């Protein structure tokens, strides 16, 4: 029984993979270039169904059945609606939402055979709050919630849970480009008054994947310092 984390070569995905590894659980990451030395990685661009299939085949040949899948790969391409072209919209959806569908679909095939599975989707606080300039990204992250809850209903009787983790502002490459003023403005809206660390997201993901969380499915778990309260 092993875990697969998409986009595990850096940021939140890397922290999740390290969390599994530190707990002694077999883990494989997907990457699109190079893999950190201490981890087992397989190449995969989640926009390509054939690469998703090959990545699972390669991972399972090495580690056995994958019964935990963390759909973490994602990116932003922010723009105000009237300036957002169709490609900007569809590319974000194709990676963040359709990519997660591709990965979950292949992962569930193995989970069904094992009568056990954990799907964890990395969404965002903006899924429910919305954010100016992020219509594409917020739509993709909100879509993950609908997908996870549908899968929770579809697969619950087969011992498979599907949950969502919704991080707030987390210090990674994705948020490094924010101006100081914008980062401060976001922090002002966070009750805990600071950005979060990838490890704080990772701990929640590993817990949702554990046996202790076996009666939790269809949940949206915030890791956002309180930023999403009330949404």
- Strand order of the sheet with strand 220-223? 40-43, 27-31, 2-5, 66-71, 117-122, 160-167, 220-223
137 carries an active-site annotation: yes
- By C-beta, is 114 or 171 nearer to ligand NDP? 171
CB of 5 to ligand NDP, least distance (A): 9
Select from 69, 122, 125, 56 the least CA-distant residue to 95: 122
For residue 104, the cross-strand partners are: none
CA distances from 203 to 77, 84, 173 (A): 27, 35, 20
Which residue minimizes CB distance to ligand NDP? Answer: 11
- Under the criterion CB under 6 A, does residue 13 sit at the interface with ligand NDP? yes
Q: Which lies closer to ligand NDP via its Cβ, residue 113 or residue 185?
A: 185
As measured in angstroms, the least distance from the Cβ of 57 to ligand NDP is: 17
Site for ligand NDP in 165-194 (CB under 6 A): 167, 169-170, 172-175
CA–CA separation, 195 and 181 (whole Å): 14
Mark the segment that binds ligand NDP (CB under 6 A) among 43-51, 55-63, 107-115, 180-188. Answer: 43-51
| Residue among 4, 99, 108 nearest 48 (CA) | 99
Among 2, 4, 11, 56, interactor with ligand NDP by CB under 6 A: 11
Handedness of CA 222, 225, 226, 231 (dihedral sign): negative
Q: What residues from 50 to 79 belong to the interface with ligand NDP (CB under 6 A)? A: 72-75
The yes or no reply on residue 10 touching ligand NDP (CB under 6 A) is: yes
Chain contacts with ligand NDP (rule: CB under 6 A)? 6-7, 9-13, 32-33, 44-47, 72-75, 95, 99, 122, 124, 167, 169-170, 172-175
């Amino acid at each position: 029984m092993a875990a697969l984390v998409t986009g595990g070569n850096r940021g939140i995905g890397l922290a999740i993979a390290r969390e599994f590894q530190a707990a002694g659980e077999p883990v494989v990451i997907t990457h699109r270039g190079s893999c950190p030395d201490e981890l087992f990685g397989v190449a995969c661009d989640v926009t390509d169904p054939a690469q998703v299939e090959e990545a699972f085949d390669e991972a399972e040949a090495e580690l056995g059945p994958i019964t935990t899948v963390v759909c973490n790969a994602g990116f932003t391409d922010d723009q105000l609606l009237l300036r957002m072209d169709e490609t900007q919209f569809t590319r974000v959806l194709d990676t963040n939402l359709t990519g997660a569908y591709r990965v979950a679909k292949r992962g569930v095939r193995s989970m069904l055979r094992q009568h056990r599975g954990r799907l964890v989707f990395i969404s965002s606080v903006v899924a429910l709050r919305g954010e100016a300039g992020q219509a594409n990204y917020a739509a993709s992250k909100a879509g993950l919630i609908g997908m996870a809850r549908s899968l929770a209903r579809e697969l619950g009787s087969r011992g498979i849970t599907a949950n969502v983790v919704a991080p707030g502002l987390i210090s990674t490459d994705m948020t490094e480009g924010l101006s100081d003023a914008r980062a401060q403005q976001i922090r002002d809206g966070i009750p805990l008054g600071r950005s979060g660390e990838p490890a704080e997201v990772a701990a929640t993901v590993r817990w949702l994947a554990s046996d202790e969380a076996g009666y939790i499915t269809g949940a949206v778990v915030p890791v956002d310092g309180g930023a999403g309260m009330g949404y």
